[in-house]
Amino acid sequence: MDNDGNESILDTYLYETNTLLEQLDNIVLEAEQADTFSEGNVNEIFRIMHTIKGASAMMEYESLATVAHRIEDLFFIIREKGMDAVPEEAHPDLFEMMFQSIDFFRGEVEKIESGQPLSNDIDSFLQKINSVIDKINGTAPAASATAAPVAAETGNSPIGGGFPYRVKVFFDEGAGMENLRAFMLVTEIRAMCPERDFTFFPSDVETNSTTTDTILSEGFLLAFRRGEDREKAAKLAAASGSVGSYQTMDQQEREEKKPQRNDSAPEEKKRESEENVPVKAAAAAAGQAAPQHTKESLISVSLSKLNQLMDVVGEIVITESMVTSSPDLKGLKLDRFTKSARQLRKLTDELQDVSMSLRMVPVLSTFQKMQRIVRDMGKKLGKSAKLTLVGAETEMDKSIVDSIGDPLMHIIRNSMDHGIEDTEAERVAAGKDSVGEIILSAMHTGEDVIIQVKDDGQGIDYDRVLQKAIKVGLANPEVEYSRKEILNFLLMPGFSTNSEVTEYSGRGVGMDVVKKAVEEVGGTVTLSSEPGRGMTTTLKIPLTMAIMDGMEVQVGGCIFTIPIINIRQSFKMSDTDVIHDTSGGEMVKIMDVFYPVVRVKQLYSIPEGAEKIEDGIVMWVESGECSYALFVDELIGEQQVVVKPLPNYINAFNMKQHGITGCTILGDGSISAILDVFNLYSAAL
C-alpha cells in the first residue's frame, strides 16, 4: 500500500482515522462521566468502528479491522439489548477497555505513519472485548440455545459452545484415508493455534478409521475460539493438496445478535454484506465522517499549500511596498498613481488578512486532548481532578496550535503530579473542594493569545525549589532570591524537585523544554504561584509572527525595526531631562513616572550615532511588564514588514538574547534588524 499512487489514499486514511479516534475519545470520556453510553453514543461508536473496520480492511490492516469488528459487535449487542444489559460492575471495565482500544488504534496508526510493521498480537484485546461481551450476555456464549434454527448449513452442532468460528473441510473425492488427512490438518493447525483454542469433530481421527465415513458425508469440522485462527486454518486447508472444498461459518454469535430471526438466510446475507462492506465502507468513509460537523461546507487543504500561499502573500507585501515607495518616483507629483497605490495597498492588506485567517484553527482540539491526560493520570495517581476548558473556541495559527500541544501536556502533567494534593483529605482540610480543578483557558488580547493553566493545588514550595536550585548549582546560597527569581529556576535546564523520576515528570527535562518550545513560536512563559492555593502557568503567544507593523528607526548607520505595538510614545528631550540613578544608569520622567533609558548605540557598540539626547529621539517602549525608554537617532517611518528569521549561522551567536529577533527586507532592498523590546531590555541590564 505504499506505491506512489496510493500515498494520497494512505494520507486520507490516516487523517480520517485520527479524526475518528479523537471523536471517539471525547464520546467515551463523556460517557464515562455519565457512567453510561447514551443511545446517541452507542450509535456513533458503532458507526465509527464500522468505518474504521472497513477502511482498515481496504488498506489491508487486518489487525485493526479485526479489533474494530469486535468492538462493533460489542456495540451492536449493546444497541440491541440496551445499556441496561451491561451489569453495573462491568461498566468500569467497559470504559477502560474502550480507552485501551483507542490507545491501541492510536499506537498502530503511529506505526503506520512511521512505516513500522503493525503488531499482530491482538489476542489480548480480543480477549478483553470478548470478556466484556460475555459479561453482558451473562455467561459464556453457550447460553441462548433458543435460536437453534440459525445454525445454518448443518443443523446439528456436535461441538459445544465456546468455539464459534468454524470451518468444515471436504476432501477430494477418492483422496482416500480421509481421517488421516484430517489428522494431518489438525497437526498443522496445532502448530499455529494453542490446543485450548480450537477443537474438531470427529475428535478421534488419528486412531479411528471409521471416522472417514463421517468426514465423507458431513465433512471434517474444525471450530475455533478466535476468528483469526479460523482464517489461518482456512488458508491452511486451502493450501492443502487433498482438500476439495471448505466452508466457513459462525455459530452462536449470530444467535446472540438476532434472537428474532429464525431462518438462515439473513445470516448468510449478513456475512455477505460483511464481506462487501470493506469496499463500500471505505468509499462511504469520507461521507460518513462528514456529518459529524455542522452542515458547513468544508474542504481540507494541505498545509504545504497554505504555507506556499503565505509566502507568496508575504512577498507581495514587500514588493508592493517596493513599487509604491520606489526611489524612481521620489519627488514626482503623481495624483492618480497615488490614488491607485492606496487602492492597491488596501487590497493587499485584505489579501493578507484573509490568507492569514486560513491558517487559524480553534485551540479546541488540542485542549480536548488534555482531558484524556487528566483522566488517565488521575486514575494512575489515585487523585481526582477535573479539567475545565475556557475559551477553547479561540483561534490560532494551526502550526502554533500543533506546537503547543506537547508543552501544555507537560504543564498539565506537572499540575497533576506535583500540584494537586495526594489525598482528598488534604484538600478538604485546606478548605478546598475534594476534586481538584485545573482550568485551561485561551484568550485573545489584540496581538497575542494568552493560554493559561491554573491549578488549585498545593502551589510551589519556594524553599524546596531554592534548595534544589542551590544543589544543582543554579543558585548561589549567599544570595537572597525573590519569589519571581525562584520561579525562574524552574524554567532552567536540568531542574527538578522530584528526587525520583516518575513516569510522568521529574526527569528535569520539563519546564525548560516547554519554555524553548513556546519561545520557538515567538511566545513567552511566566509562572506564578501562591503556596497552598495553586499555581498558574501563562503562555503568551503572538497571533502571527509573519507580517507586522513596524517603525523604522536609525542609529548610527544601522536601521532597526521596532514593532509598532510595543511603542507607546516618542519624545524629543534634552540632556537636562536625564536623571542618573545610584549605579550610574540613566532615567527619564514620562508622565510622572521614571523609566530607565537604554541607548541603542551603546548597547550595540555602534560607532556613529547621536550622543546628546537632544540630537536624537526618546521612544517609550513596552512589552508585557517591561517598560522603558529607548534612545535612537531618528524615526524614519512606519512600515509594514515581513519578518524573516535570521540565518542560522547568525542565530548561533545568540542574537535573540541581545534583542534582535529577526530581520526584514525594506522597500529599497536594504535589510533592517527587528528588535525585540523585551529581550533588548534584558540584554541591557
Partner 1 sequence: MELTNENNSGVEETRQYLIFRSGDLKFGMDVQYVVETIINHPVTRLPMLPEYVRGVLNLRGEVIPAVDIRLRLGQPAEDDSTIIVLHMDGVQLGILVDGVERIVKLTPKDIQPMSQRNTQKLFCGMCALPEEETIMMIDVRALLENTP
CA distance linking residue 145 with residue 160, whole number of Å: 11
Q: What's 482's DSSP letter?
A: -
With beta carbons less than 8 A apart as the criterion, state whether 470 and 476 touch. Answer: yes
With beta carbons less than 8 A apart as the criterion, state whether 223 and 249 touch. Answer: no
Neighbouring residues of 585: CB distance < 8 A, sequence distance ≥ 6: 596, 597
Backbone phi and psi for residue 647, each to the nearest 5 degrees, phi listed first: -60, 145
Closest CB to partner 1 among 21 and 600? 600
Of the candidate residues 449, 658, 677, 678, the single one contacting partner 1 (CB under 8 A): 658
- Taking the complex as a whole, how short is the minimal distance between the CB of residue 434 and partner 1, in angstroms? 54
- In degrees, rounded to 5, the angle at the alpha carbon of residue 374 between the alpha carbons of residues 370 and 376 is 110
Residue 327 binding partner 1, by CB under 8 A: no
HEC per residue, 244-293:
EEEEEEECCHHHHHCCCCCCHHHHHHHHHHHHHHHHHHHHHHHHHHHHHC
Judging by beta carbons within 10 Å of its beta carbon (0-12, 13-18, 19+), is residue 327 exposed, middle or buried? exposed
Of the candidate residues 140, 177, 279, 650, the single one contacting partner 1 (CB under 8 A): 650
Residue 678 binding partner 1, by CB under 8 A: no
Residue 649 binding partner 1, by CB under 8 A: yes
Residue 669 binding partner 1, by CB under 8 A: yes
Residue 604 binding partner 1, by CB under 8 A: yes
- Taking the complex as a whole, how short is the minimal distance between the CB of residue 226 and partner 1, in angstroms? 51
Task: Specify the stretch interacting with partner 1 by CB under 8 A; choose among 266-274, 291-299, 363-371, 601-609.
Answer: 601-609
CA distance linking residue 640 with residue 666, whole number of Å: 9
- Taking the complex as a whole, how short is the minimal distance between the CB of residue 634 and partner 1, in angstroms? 18
Backbone phi and psi for residue 44, each to the nearest 5 degrees, phi listed first: -65, -45
Residue 390 binding partner 1, by CB under 8 A: no
3 state DSSP class of 115: coil
- Taking the complex as a whole, how short is the minimal distance between the CB of residue 545 and partner 1, in angstroms? 15
Of the candidate residues 15, 337, 571, 653, the single one contacting partner 1 (CB under 8 A): 653
Residue 605 binding partner 1, by CB under 8 A: yes
Closest CB to partner 1 among 187 and 307? 307
Residue 322 binding partner 1, by CB under 8 A: no
CA distance linking residue 150 with residue 255, whole number of Å: 7
- Taking the complex as a whole, how short is the minimal distance between the CB of residue 322 and partner 1, in angstroms? 11
- Taking the complex as a whole, how short is the minimal distance between the CB of residue 685 and partner 1, in angstroms? 15
Task: Specify the stretch interacting with partner 1 by CB under 8 A; choose among 198-206, 230-238, 540-548, 597-605.
Answer: 597-605
CA distance linking residue 169 with residue 247, whole number of Å: 7
- Taking the complex as a whole, how short is the minimal distance between the CB of residue 602 and partner 1, in angstroms? 11
Neighbouring residues of 199: CB distance < 8 A, sequence distance ≥ 6: 159, 163, 222, 223
- Taking the complex as a whole, how short is the minimal distance between the CB of residue 649 and partner 1, in angstroms? 4
Of the candidate residues 382, 557, 585, 637, the single one contacting partner 1 (CB under 8 A): 557
Of the candidate residues 114, 139, 499, 648, the single one contacting partner 1 (CB under 8 A): 648
Task: Specify the stretch interacting with partner 1 by CB under 8 A; choose among 352-360, 363-371, 619-627, 662-670.
Answer: 662-670
Closest CB to partner 1 among 183 and 678? 678
Residue type present at position 171: F
Closest CB to partner 1 among 306 and 665? 665
Task: Specify the stretch interacting with partner 1 by CB under 8 A; choose among 202-210, 391-399, 497-505, 655-663.
Answer: 655-663
CA distance linking residue 568 with residue 620, whole number of Å: 5
Task: Specify the stretch interacting with partner 1 by CB under 8 A; choose among 330-338, 478-486, 568-576, 602-610.
Answer: 602-610
Residue 624 binding partner 1, by CB under 8 A: no
Residue 646 binding partner 1, by CB under 8 A: yes
Residue type present at position 209: S
* Residues of this chain, 216-275, that bind partner 1 according to CB under 8 A: none
Residue 606 binding partner 1, by CB under 8 A: yes
Closest CB to partner 1 among 513 and 683? 683
Task: Specify the stretch interacting with partner 1 by CB under 8 A; choose among 26-34, 267-275, 502-510, 639-647.
Answer: 639-647
Task: Specify the stretch interacting with partner 1 by CB under 8 A; choose among 381-389, 470-478, 506-514, 661-669.
Answer: 661-669
Closest CB to partner 1 among 5 and 669? 669
Residue 670 binding partner 1, by CB under 8 A: yes
How many residues bind partner 1 (CB under 8 A)? The answer is 27
Judging by beta carbons within 10 Å of its beta carbon (0-12, 13-18, 19+), is residue 90 exposed, middle or buried? middle
Residue type present at position 188: E
Cis preceding-peptide flag for 202 (omega within 30 of 0): yes
CA distance linking residue 661 with residue 666, whole number of Å: 16
Rg (CA), the chain: 35
Of the candidate residues 558, 621, 632, 641, the single one contacting partner 1 (CB under 8 A): 558
Look up residue 264 and give its three cell numbers: 438462515
Of the candidate residues 663, 674, 677, 684, the single one contacting partner 1 (CB under 8 A): 663
Task: State the virtual CA torsion across 33, 38, 41, 43 in degrees, nearest 10.
Answer: 160
* Residues of this chain, 160-189, that bind partner 1 according to CB under 8 A: none
User: What is the distance, to the nearest Å, from the Cα of residue 131 to the centroid of all Cα atoms in its chain?
Assistant: 31
Of the candidate residues 315, 463, 503, 634, the single one contacting partner 1 (CB under 8 A): 315
- Taking the complex as a whole, how short is the minimal distance between the CB of residue 676 and partner 1, in angstroms? 13
Closest CB to partner 1 among 341 and 606? 606
**Biggest CA-to-CA distance, the chain:** 120
Judging by beta carbons within 10 Å of its beta carbon (0-12, 13-18, 19+), is residue 446 exposed, middle or buried? exposed
Closest CA to 292 of 19, 13, 65: 19
Closest CB to partner 1 among 294 and 605? 605
3 state DSSP class of 593: strand
Task: Specify the stretch interacting with partner 1 by CB under 8 A; choose among 21-29, 60-68, 552-560, 609-617.
Answer: 552-560
Residue type present at position 614: E
Of the candidate residues 660, 674, 677, 684, the single one contacting partner 1 (CB under 8 A): 660
Task: State the virtual CA torsion across 350, 352, 358, 364 in degrees, nearest 10.
Answer: -100
Closest CB to partner 1 among 254 and 601? 601
Closest CA to 271 of 163, 150, 156, 128: 150
- Taking the complex as a whole, how short is the minimal distance between the CB of residue 587 and partner 1, in angstroms? 24
CA distance linking residue 164 with residue 143, whole number of Å: 13
Residue 647 binding partner 1, by CB under 8 A: yes
Residues of the shown chain interacting with partner 1 in the complex, contacts defined by CB under 8 A = 315, 318, 557-559, 603-606, 644, 646-650, 652-653, 655, 658, 660, 663, 665, 669-673
